[in-house]
Amino acid sequence: MNPLLEEFKTPYNTTPFSKIENKHFKPAFVAAIASAKQEVDGITNNPENPNFENTLEALDYSGRLLSNISHIFFNLNSAETSDEIQAIANEVSPLLSEFSNDIGLNEALFQRIKTVYDNKENLNLSTEQQTLLTSNYKSFVRNGAILNEVDKNTLRDIDKELSQASLTFGQNVLAATNKYELHITDNNDLAGLPDGVKDAAKMTAEQKNKDGWIFTLDYPSLIPFLTYSSVRALREEMNKANGSRTFKGDELDNQSIVLNIVKLRYQRANLLGYPSHAAFILEEQMASSPANVMSFLDNLLLKSKPVAINEFNQVSDFAKETDGLEKLQSWDASYYSEKLKQKLFSLDDEQLKPYFKLENVVNGVFAIATKLYGLTFTQLTDIDTYHEDVLTYKVNFENGDLVAIFYADYHPRAGKRGGAWMSSLNDQYIKDGVNNRPHIMNVCNFTKPTETKPSLLTFNEVTTLFHEFGHALHGMLANTTYPSLSGTNVYRDFVELPSQILENWCFEQEALELFAFHYETGEVIPNELIQKIKASANYMQATQILRQLNFGLTDMAWHTANPAKINSVDEFERKATASTQIYPNVEGNNFSSAFSHIFQGGYSSGYYSYKWAEVLDADAFELFKENGIFNKEIGARFKDHILSKGGTEHPMELYKKFRGQEPDNDALLKRAGLIESLTEATT
């Protein structure tokens, strides 16, 4: 008996994690792939003439079992992995890649789709149906349906190799992250660190059966250390450990994998008739072409770099005045930026953290969703989870209708990759009159509670939680007919709008007073601190934009260049990012070799989308500001035209239906204060 292949007789049809063993996965994948192939055969062998229902609709509803198993397995591989799960991933990924190619290169299936597509003008299709038809037809063409048999086989080989290379890349990053630890036994080496940071490091050491304190490359450990440690040599060690973790020439080195991935992506794009991987990807994004992306990034660079240089000089001068530091290095950036922030605004994260107890912040983001979209959240205790840290909630509309099941996994552990993300365990779609509601996950890495303190978040972590919950709302409020167009299945440069717009509420007094309570006294965050948060909102903003541009330009460089001409990962990265460099380069550090977003996480040729979507979110939030941040009418418009519609229409059309106009391209620069700062920096 394989629980993955049986009906889940669980509350809300949730995943029975405790019944699933690793040995169940590969047989389940094999069986589900076979079942999905039968469903496709049923479509291609249908004696009836092709039409929308028996071809496009049938195809979109096919493979649900395989989709569910994949969601479960790959969520575990990210959030609760092990050597055994990673080995299974290496075995099943080529099978999934082969199956995907079997569908995409199925000539009989493509001909049926083409027949319907060629007759589309005579069909009375809804907007969503038109989108499904067009996206499927273009997907088949863009993925090799019109190639000859030799080229189709080449494409299959490339995709198998890419699948394996991406997996190995991610496994190396996780292993290298877990491999390093800074073990401190001398109390003097803790100078500058807040008590909460030291408590967490002591707990980590105890868990590893060691004395003293242990700091790791997990963000809740790394970032506070780089921000507060006054022991410069140890900041340097941590910085270099993080920057070089998959760039050491050892068994976890990713340099050859990076070169192989970009080579294979380039070959794949050329095979399909595109000059580069970026050209292939961007054809189906709002930006539409590499030239448009580069123009967007270069414009931001032009306007942010002079201000960022001013910011660097301010921090550098401050470090020299404070400690006589002659040359500011990257491992000094967070430390002295934070010190200068304290001086300028009388504000630091340690002042704010007592007001941001994790449980209160979660309740706060729930309350905001209630005010905006009429949602209610009820914690459940009868839902099976994959780890004891995971909390589950039932989400309903105020009329009692089920919206979604929400899983919240907030603390780091050895089997979880770094960062924060949203994903789904079960898709939303409507079939046979039944609206299948989604099961949505948020996974983050916030400091665990200690014996003396609860989990207290930095303000940056608060915005991260809101960001990921914005993605979760996009998934939870999905209300489309077809699974492939549901939820976050939208253009990559549109998907960040729901996440980034929600961050804005973190800076509003009306919102903060819903959840920012001192964990000991229960006192609401003082207005004085709120004003300091708002006043410091644009502090080092140009530097942050420049950092994002660095990542975006790195991504575009890798995916527009001819990889045959690239011999050194490090040299190529340095040339690609020279225009964004303000701090001195660190010998031995390399970002590309651990750039999981583009080499594992699906953001290849898409990292620019964070900034692209910030333009949308800055413009969209202006409408809320003009009408009240909890205005139910504006909230309903955002839900009805953005959050619920998924990829059923072109995103610009959806945006205009919400906003009433196209976005103001200067909205981001205005919000970041860069227009005024640029004037000051250039005069």
Phi then psi for 120, rounded to 5 degrees? -60, -30
Cα angle 461, 439, 104; round to 5: 105
**In which band, very low, low, confident or very high, does the pLDDT at 683 lie, cut at 50, 70 and 90?**
low
Residue 270 — very low, low, confident or very high, per pLDDT cuts 50/70/90?
A: very high
Give the pLDDT confidence score for residue 665 in this predicted structure. Answer: 80
Q: Is the pLDDT of residue 10 over 80?
A: yes
The residue written with tokens 């550090």 in the block is 589
| H/E run at residue 399 | none
Average of per-residue pLDDT across 364-389: 97
Contact 604, 281 (CB under 8 A): yes
- Phi and psi at 69, nearest 5°, equal -65, -40
Is it the case that residue 316 has pLDDT exceeding 90?
Answer: yes
Q: Comparing 682 with 111, which gets the higher pLDDT?
A: 111
Burial classification of residue 222, based on how many CB atoms lie within 10 Å of its CB (0-12 exposed, 13-18 middle, 19 or more buried)? buried
The pLDDT value recorded for residue 602 is 85
Strand ranges (DSSP E) for 64-212?
Answer: 182-184
Report the chain's terminal Cα–Cα distance, integer Å.
74
In degrees and rounded to multiples of 5, residue 313 shows phi and psi of -65, -35
CA 258 and chain centroid, separation: 20
Q: Can you say how many angstroms the Cα of residue 668 is from the centroid of all Cα atoms in its chain?
A: 20
Q: What CA–CA distance (Å, rounded) separates 285 from 463?
A: 26
Spatial separation of the C-alpha atoms in residues 423 and 420, rounded to whole Å: 10
Q: Please say if 508 is a catalytic residue.
A: no
Mean pLDDT of 651-661: 96
Query: Is the pLDDT reported for residue 607 higher than 90?
Result: yes
Amino acid letter, residue 51: N
pLDDT tens digits for range 120-176: 999 999 999 999 999 999 999 999 999 999 999 999 999 999 999 999 999 999 999
User: What is the C-alpha to C-alpha distance for residues 257 and 97, in angstroms, rounded to an integer?
Assistant: 18
Task: Evaluate whether 560 touches 278 at the Cβ level (below 8 Å).
Answer: yes
Specify the 3-state DSSP secondary structure of 450.
Answer: coil
- Show the tokens assigned to 652: 């610009």
Could you give phi then psi for residue 376, rounded to 5 degrees?
-125, 150
- Predicted local distance difference test score (pLDDT) of residue 682: 60
The pLDDT, as a whole number, for residue 679 is 62
Q: What pLDDT was estimated at residue 452? A: 87
Report yes or no: 542 and 302 within 8 Å, Cβ to Cβ.
no
In this prediction, residues 461-476 reach a mean pLDDT of 98
Q: Nearest to residue 589, comparing CAs of 330, 203, 277, 207?
A: 330
Active-site position among 311, 461, 468, 649: 468
d(CA 323, CA 336): 10
Sort 410 into a burial class: Cβ within 10 Å, 0-12 / 13-18 / 19+: buried
In 3-state terms, what secondary structure has residue 182? strand
**357 φ, ψ (degrees, to nearest 5):** -65, 135
- Across residues 250-254, what is the average pLDDT? 97
> How many angstroms separate the CA atoms of 330 and 332, rounded?
5
Spatial neighbors of 59 by CB under 8 A, at least 6 apart, are 40, 43, 109, 113, 136
Q: What is the mean pLDDT of residues 656-675?
A: 89
Q: Per-residue pLDDT averaged across 249-269, rounded? A: 98
Report d(CA 575, CA 554) in Å as an integer.
Answer: 9
Average pLDDT, the chain: 95
Tokens for 306?
Answer: 């002079």
Query: Which of 356-360, 562-566, 667-671 has the weakest average pLDDT?
Result: 667-671
Categorize the per-residue pLDDT at 678 as very low, low, confident or very high, splitting at 50, 70 and 90: low
Q: Which domains does the chain have, with CATH numbers?
A: 3-104+106-146 (1.20.1050.40), 180-243 (no CATH), 255-347+541-607 (1.10.1370.10), 354-535+610-681 (1.10.1370.40)
DSSP bridge pairs for 441: 407, 423
Dist. CA 280–CA 270, nearest whole Å = 9
Mean pLDDT on 608-618? 93
Three-state helix/strand/coil letters over 210-263: CCCEEECCCHHHHHHHHHHCCCHHHHHHHHHHHHCCCCCCCCCCCHHHHHHHHH
CB 424 within 8 A of CB 489: no
Place 677 in a pLDDT band, splitting at 50, 70 and 90: low
Classify 436 in phi/psi space as left (phi over 0), alpha (psi -120 to 50) or beta: beta
pLDDT band at 673 (very low <50, low <70, confident <90, very high): confident
Structure tokens at 365: 């983001």
Residue range 191-245, pLDDT digits in tens: 999 998 999 999 999 999 999 999 999 988 999 999 999 999 999 999 999 999 9
- Residue positions counted in the chain: 683
Provide the pLDDT for residue 680.
65
Instruction: Label residue 573 by pLDDT band (50, 70, 90).
Output: very high
- For residues 498 and 617, give the distance between their C-alpha atoms in angstroms, rounded to a whole number: 8
Residues 640 and 373: their CA atoms lie apart, in Å, by: 10
The confidence band for 25, taking pLDDT boundaries of 50, 70 and 90, is very high
Q: With beta carbons less than 8 A apart as the criterion, state whether 455 and 448 touch.
A: yes
Task: Give the Cα separation of 140 and 145 in Å (integer).
Answer: 5
Token pair in block for residue 608: 């620019």
CA distances from 380 to 20, 534, 553 (A): 20, 36, 44
Name which of 583, 519, 541 is nearest 341 in CA terms: 541
For residue 50, give the nearest of 127, 149, 137 by alpha carbon: 137
